[in-house]
Structure 1
């Protein structure tokens, strides 16, 4: 009896596959539609899932609404200097998506991408695709980061990651130790503080920014200064710039800056960076004051940039009071007994890492970071969008993602024209 080998499952071919339907993937789709490039957008959840499902209740933009500049869809509301809250953000991105007919397939998980004979094979849990181009727009927030020593913490102490936090009532009764002072960490700490919860903070080296300074929002000044136009290639140390934590401040209740020294003066107990855990013992590095100084250095540096610009341009702007350190730690606490301190939960706010296990294409460096120039890889037909500092500070945000998507799609269209000519 002869045995006939199984035929490989048929693949649907398109010119371009876009992986991910957040603002980056949908911006790419917009320009692909406009350029007449056949494509499909594959999204494992639903479009804009992160905005809809991975944000806490009081979440709002940290950058003002005027920076929302998706392709041909700028913010059109009546509060350009305000800060949209979560539901308004969802309405904005949905409005953008409804402005064109994207070939979107939701609930489709990409399981493997590899290049075979000049064509990309894209395997999913809902069928097989092939493409001449693949745009990876899946973002960098796949895997929440927790340190290995977190496994040694007493299991009676609840551990929550920022991705799972929605509201203060999610946190068990008792004292919560928030770990990390990026934008999420300080805002979640403040959320708990406003709710009257007993909260403490392990302070990392994240920088901070003024909010309103000399008559304007600091981001307005940075815009006219040209800060948002500086490219990653123009940075003195591009790798270090890519790894930097965003400056912390808040858009809550009209926007305000966050000075952790003021919270400490008002009773917030703070420690340095968490260095170890064992049972109910939590250890910290003696770097609290150093980290506060690092944050203040960036804060003062931004003020000085603005001051210099105002002076150079002869702008009539109100004076601002001199910066003052309103609190300093009297001593560095390097070890506590969480049980004795009444700590019943730890809220981890130390970031995420992307998961590219499905991407079997040689386009990443030894650290696992994509190798590209403004989203275009050396591997023909491979592209990335939506990453922080892909090209400028705004690349991973509403401000700059459209320009990057336009740039990538123009490269795809040009390659197509060249191929047809040949």
Structure 2
């Protein structure tokens, strides 16, 4: 972060260079303090809101977003109360960072909420702090939640058209476009940019600009993309999903995924599963949960309806006949008969139109690596290294031994 920032203290045309460190030293005790506060922030939504006193000069000095909000050309300088429809905990962590250069992140949930706020309010240092905490505490139990939050912050890894979206996702995982990021500000979409709104997921209606728009508004020389740190975390999440696929698919949060994140996982060729039935069973669980969310009867037709094209990302042609029998509940008679014939070695002429676009993928096996072999191999390697290091004695070759003997004799007879 720069040591100096510009801030208007005398009016819109009078700029004075102030030390950011000096400002933080003076503002440390002003955090959550009414003394000298000139603005009131009403943080939260209609169900729960908090009144937070703040000092516009502190916020503007340490953050580009607030500088434009309080001192920009479109700012209302007579306005004293501002509505901030963000999560109060995440926004409080942002304020604590701006006032004290500290942050109270103590859980993955807190880090994810704070990351969302840090990105929205253009605070790259706080975003990096959140990403570092998440990466340190990332497990198979929480990786899906982290993946769902972070994939929309990786526009550089997106596939912009449908033809690119059909490429192998193991090498270029898909992510939303900047237009999708803008959709998060609309009430009819959920907080993850998915097209189907879900009442159980909180929405954010305060994201008013994409990163491209903000870069146009702000000075290019001072703009820092707060999403830059998310790409590495996103790739780490995918790696965790690939390595521990069975454990990841068994987690409870799988049933809460939005359809876009679920598709991202299903399309990966690097999922480490012993057979494709594991993927189908996870998808079946998700369809049950989705029917409940949409208040639909738990019938095969409704499950197929909520799954849509997600069902055809299961690689049915990599199953055997016994495994395929367990998928009959979600397949039509034509689909099942065709797949059964293909698995049995036949090549039916008539292909169901629902399966036709996915046949190549359905017949491509995923890269399964048996966990037991990996563990035994690593343990044997560890044991070898332990044996090598435990003795602490130098292992001589015959040549080295002869040279040492000759050296000793030379010393004795010198």
Larger Rg: 2
Relative to total residues, which structure has the larger strand share, 1 or 2? Answer: 1
Scaled by the length of structure 1, what TM-score is found?
0.24
Scaled by the length of structure 2, what TM-score is found?
0.24
Relative to total residues, which structure has the larger helix share, 1 or 2? Answer: 2
Higher relative contact order (CA 8 A, sep 6+): 1
